[in-house]
């Protein structure tokens, strides 16, 4: 550990060079917080709902609940004798699969969540089917007017250029055949599934691979009369006499619209909230470099209103696919979460890593259906979640230390979150705009002081403080 300078000496230095406040926002915001209960079974989620509520989450996102591919002889490992991504390979759009549970178990989970005031949202994936087309349920073929009508004309040709909107919205991705989502028979069949999910008690959806389903402005597949899938499933128009069962405004819906140079973000934003994938990359870059100035955290790196962005430090894709974030320590992810959830804008999503996982063993206990590790209810995570609820509509004010090792998220004038990215203890004196006086950390109960507009403290390495005046 480096030598700690005296408080007075360091204060004098930092007061001369302290960075100005980075941003101010004052628009109304929500207090939603999503827990992605990744690969947890319905029964596991139901059993842990009291802990989830206690930890401050308002929404639980499930993994896909549709009938899915049974591979590796029905093995239930995350990776090995079984695969987590098998439930991303639909064989039919009906509720229940061998990995997560039955329709009755899903409904029981939703009932309990409703009782506790938690919303369940379901990961849905109408864009594609199982890779092995022999496994598609005959009921699905029949419902869409035969196998020849299930896929786009281009649906079995692999996408070569993801920035070509015709290829992106009609082509096969990673071997997954692209469904003809513009076929009214498919829309009717899929909407029955959506309405059944709602009838069981769910109150929202996460649309997987949303950018691969065309907008009205996108090129049409030869089999399509119009690109109206989103209008149908968002309740703007009926299909064959069937409409979305609940008003759109009662549902929480967002799409996985991974950002790229030719993605019409504003077009998708007309229908749903969207993932802030670029912001996640920027935040991880800052965390990995232990420096708030390593990238631009002020910009949301999106064309849409940040109030309609789903933010994360990591997602199941960044953890599992090429392990882009899996090497980051739980401690580092935790600091990133405290930053995200304490901000005024965005709707933060906490990805629950596998139980028993380490940075050497990403799959941990390697069991589908099991609860994730304890990070979702870590005392600091819970305190940060509670801070978000307490600070609804309080304006945000971001401040960085001169060297970028500390971030302060001020909310209003009597509360703030202080994050120390430094791997060493740090003595700091940072100009702030919150009121002078004494502050207390919600977790450690440690007291801090702001005097003459300067926050002065000794901060433990790699931790955060949730401060109230």
Write down the catalytic residue from 123, 256, 314, 375: 256
Which residue among 67, 208, 221, 295 is the active-site one?
208
**How is 54-110 classified by DSSP, letter by letter?**
HTT-SEEEEPP-EEE---GGG---SEESEEGGGGGSEEEEEE-BTTTB-HHHHHHHH
Q: Tell me how far apart the alpha carbons of residues 286 and 405 are, in angstroms, rounded to a whole number.
A: 10
d(CA 99, CA 369): 7
Count of Cβ atoms closer than 10 Å to residue 163 Cβ: 11
The answer to whether 411 touches 432, Cβ cutoff 8 Å, is no
Tell me the two tokens of residue 408: 């302060």
Q: Report which secondary-structure segment, H or E, holds 318.
A: helix 316-320
- Hey, which residues does 101 pair with through a beta bridge? 97
Instruction: With beta carbons less than 8 A apart as the criterion, state whether 335 and 421 touch.
Output: yes
**Cβ atoms 241, 160 nearer than 8 A:** no
Q: State the burial class of residue 340 (Cβ atoms within 10 Å of its Cβ: 0-12, 13-18, 19+).
A: buried
Measuring CA to CA, which residue among 237, 305, 245 is closest to residue 269? 305
Q: Are 29 and 307 in contact (CB under 8 A)?
A: yes
* 3-state secondary structure at position 377: helix
CA–CA distance from 120 to each of 200, 370, 392 (Å)? 10, 18, 22
- Contact between 347 and 311 (Cβ < 8 Å): yes
Distances in Å between the Cα of 372 and the Cα atoms of 333, 375, 399 are: 15, 8, 33
Q: What 3-state DSSP class applies to 26?
A: coil
256 included as an active-site residue: yes
- What residues act catalytically? 208, 256
């Amino acid at each position: 550990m480096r030598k700690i300078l005296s408080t007075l000496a360091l204060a004098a230095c930092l007061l001369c060079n302290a960075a100005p406040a980075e941003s101010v926002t004052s628009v109304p915001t929500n207090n939603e917080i999503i827990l992605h209960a990744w690969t947890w079974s319905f029964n596991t989620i139901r059993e842990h709902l009291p802990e989830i509520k206690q930890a401050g989450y308002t929404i639980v996102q499930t993994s896909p609940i549709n009938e899915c591919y049974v591979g590796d002889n029905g093995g239930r490992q995350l990776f090995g004798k079984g695969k987590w991504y098998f439930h991303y390979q639909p064989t039919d759009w009906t509720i229940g699969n061998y990995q997560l549970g039955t329709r009755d178990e899903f409904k029981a989970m939703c009932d309990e969540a409703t009782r506790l005031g938690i919303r369940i949202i379901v990961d849905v994936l109408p864009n594609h089917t199982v890779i092995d087309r022999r496994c598609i349920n005959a009921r699905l073929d029949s419902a869409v007017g035969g196998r020849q009508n299930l896929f786009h004309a281009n649906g079995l040709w692999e996408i070569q250029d993801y920035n070509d909107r015709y290829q992106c919205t009609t082509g096969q991705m990673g071997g997954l055949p692209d469904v003809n989502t513009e076929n009214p028979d498919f829309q009717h069949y899929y909407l029955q599934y959506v309405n059944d999910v709602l009838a069981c008690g769910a109150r929202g959806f996460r649309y997987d691979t949303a950018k691969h389903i065309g907008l009205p402005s996108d090129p049409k597949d030869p089999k399509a009369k119009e690109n109206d899938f989103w209008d149908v499933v968002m309740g703007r128009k009926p299909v064959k006499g069937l409409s979305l069962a609940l008003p759109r405004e009662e549902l929480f819906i967002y799409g996985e619209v991974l950002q790229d140079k030719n993605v019409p973000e504003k077009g998708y934003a007309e229908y749903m909230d969207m993932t802030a994938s670029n912001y996640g990359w920027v935040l991880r870059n800052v965390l990995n470099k232990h420096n708030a100035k390593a990238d631009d955290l002020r910009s949301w790196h999106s064309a849409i209103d940040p109030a309609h962005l789903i933010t994360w430090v990591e997602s199941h894709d960044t953890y599992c696919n090429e392990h882009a974030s899996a090497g980051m320590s739980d401690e580092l992810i935790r600091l990133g979460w405290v930053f995200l959830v304490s901000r005024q804008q965005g709707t933060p999503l906490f990805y629950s890593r596998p139980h028993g996982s380490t940075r050497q063993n990403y799959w941990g206990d390697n069991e589908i259906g099991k609860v994730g590790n304890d990070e979702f209810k870590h005392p600091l995570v819970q305190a940060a979640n509670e801070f978000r609820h307490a600070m609804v509509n309080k304006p945000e004010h971001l401040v960085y230390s001169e060297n970028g090792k500390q971030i302060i998220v001020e909310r209003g004038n009597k509360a703030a979150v202080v994050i120390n990215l430094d791997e060493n203890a740090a003595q700091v004196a940072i100009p702030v705009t919150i009121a002078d006086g004494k502050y207390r950390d919600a977790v450690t109960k440690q007291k801090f002081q702001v005097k003459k507009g300067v926050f002065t403290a000794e901060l433990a390495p790699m931790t955060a403080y949730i401060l109230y005046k």
